[in-house]
Amino acid sequence: MHPSVHAQDNPDKPAIIMAASGETVSYDQLDKNSNRIAHLFRQLGLGHGDPIAICMDNRARFFDLVWAAQRAGQIYIAISCRLTAPEIAYILEDSGAKALFTSDYIGKALDQLADFGPPLERFIVGSEHAGYRNLDKALEGLPDTPVADERAGVDMLYSSGTTGQPKGVRIPLPENPGIAESNALVMLATGVFGFSGDSVYLSPAPLYHAAPLRWSLTVHKLGGTVVVMEKFDPENALALIEKYKVDVSQWVPTHFVRMLKLPDEVRLRYDVSSLKSAVHAAAPCPIPIKEKMIEWWGPVLREYYAGSEGNGFTAIDSENWLTHKGSVGTALLGIVRICDENGDEVPPRTEGTVYFEGGSPFTYHNDPEKTSDATNKHGWTTLGDVGWVDEDGFLYLTDRKSFMIITGGVNVYPQEIENLLITHDRIADAAVIGAPDEDFGERVVAIVQPLDMADATPEFGEELIAWMRHHLSGVKVPRQVDFLEELPRHPTGKLYKRLLRDEYWKDAKAG
């Protein structure tokens, strides 16, 4: 299906509701807006397969642009609007984008990009700015009917750069050019996660990230309504579920943590009984956190493991999770293979690199080395995660391979330690990294964001170390606890560990 179909059958139905402003866009408006922008692409000389970039905050226009690209056969690159001008310019240049659509949310980067960014057409949404054409003015007089050469487009999304320079995941244009064709995500949404044409879907995360963007588009394909939060707030999310009777939603574990740490009288004030499916991914959810969410919301949590690469997909519902706690499910796309350093499969309950066999093909744009590194001798592909499977085929993730700490010759994965720390009632967020150590090579360091910065004391650090000794083996217990007012976490939940690690290793590298 496609929004244009719903525009004919149910033109006045809300396709988009912006949570803070209440702005509502009907399917008829979405269809006409996207048609005008598709005509703009052609006016700019953009043909099938030409890339365009979108770098803006959550707003209704985001969907107009994406659906225009989807029906005009463009490759569209969604760029985080929280990046600096050099970071945005890198993605624009690397992707070969021929047009940029942005907003004044990126602030000073607007002028900086105009000064040194690659040459391309630049448009701004919702305001005026030197060096940028106002999108609304550019659309004046353009028809709201389809372009003559409609064809399905595709996204090219960049990694969040948590461990290095971001890379674009290049997926070929769909073989079938029909814009109303179904896809694997639609089938998963309806067959596994309970989405339908009647769904009211809450999107609490930035639309430039793969999961919020792709799930929202899937809801539009089905003819449902997407309620978009301009910015996540834990209490407001609960209020929106009650107000709009939200039945499907998509989250990351940090959303759960923030909602659970609301005072009981606040979080229990709202009626969330309309929820039928609370989908979550992006990072493994600590077991105690998920247990509390299921106790609160009921068995509506549905977890999956996948990446922008689309090379595999696992999923698990609440019932199966309760009997396989900590698992991210069994494979629905591809076959899970756990491999050793030689790329050979290992027996169940043996830890190794997680590969998928038989998933969708992909490449990393302009990076054949990274593409090659993600593929083993059997042709199986990996996202770089470490884990194991049980005898029933349920996958359990240990951590990212690149986050592993080697201390005294022993491998330590931070995820287990972080999952423990986040359960402490005085901690808002936590990260664990390896810092340089003369004796052990690396020492385990916990970086803690307390709920109250008054707790950022050496005494509380010692208290945490003593507490962790009751739960972890000695080698895993951090030897050092430091405090930060806010961890550098991506709005989608991913942690920029590279930034934290660099602070601890810069002196060692300089020496």
Among 152, 175, 198, residue at a domain's last position: 175
Whichever domain contains 152, its CATH number is 3.40.50.12780
- Answer yes or no: is 268 within a domain: no
328: tokens are: 């991210």
| Number of structural domains in the chain | 3
| 92 and 170 co-located in one domain | yes
Same domain membership, residue 419 and residue 384: no
| Burial of residue 156, with CB atoms counted within 10 A of its CB: 0-12 exposed, 13-18 middle, 19 or more buried | buried
Check whether residue 396 and residue 433 sit in a common domain.
Answer: no
pLDDT tens by residue, the chain, 511 residues: 899 999 999 999 999 999 999 999 999 999 999 999 999 999 999 999 999 999 999 999 999 999 999 999 999 999 989 888 988 999 999 999 999 999 999 999 999 987 777 789 999 999 999 999 999 999 999 999 999 999 999 999 987 654 457 789 988 888 888 898 888 889 999 999 999 999 999 999 999 988 999 999 999 999 999 999 999 999 999 999 999 999 999 998 889 989 999 999 999 999 999 999 999 987 778 899 999 999 999 999 999 999 888 899 999 999 999 999 999 999 999 999 999 989 999 999 999 999 999 988 889 888 888 889 899 999 999 988 889 999 999 999 987 777 878 887 777 888 889 999 999 999 999 999 999 887 788 899 999 999 999 999 999 999 999 999 988 888 899 999 999 999 988 766 677 887 888 888 876 654 4
Cα 317 to chain center, whole Å?
20
State the Rg of the chain over Cα.
23
This prediction has a pTM of 0.84
CATH at residue 464: 3.30.300.30
The answer to whether position 473 is within a domain reads: yes
For 472-497, b where at least 16 C-beta lie within 10 A, e where not — what string? Answer: beeebbbeebbbbeebebbbbbbbbb
Domain match, 98 and 160 both: yes
Domain span including residue 381: 334-403
**Residue 278 located in a structural domain:** no
278 DSSP β-pair partners: 249, 301
For residue 347, being part of any structural domain is answered with yes
What interhelical angle do 85-95 and 109-116 show, nearest 10? Answer: 40
| Boundary-marking domain end, from 113, 147, 175 | 175
Write down which residue in 403, 423, 442 finishes a domain. Answer: 403
Q: Are residues 386 and 456 in the same domain?
A: no
Q: Does 71 fall in a domain?
A: yes
Asked, for residue 457, whether it belongs to a domain, the answer is yes
Residues 490 and 354 reside in one and the same domain: no
Residue among 493, 494, 284 nearest 386 (CA)? 284
Residues 341 and 456 in one domain: no
Helices (H), 374-450: 414-421
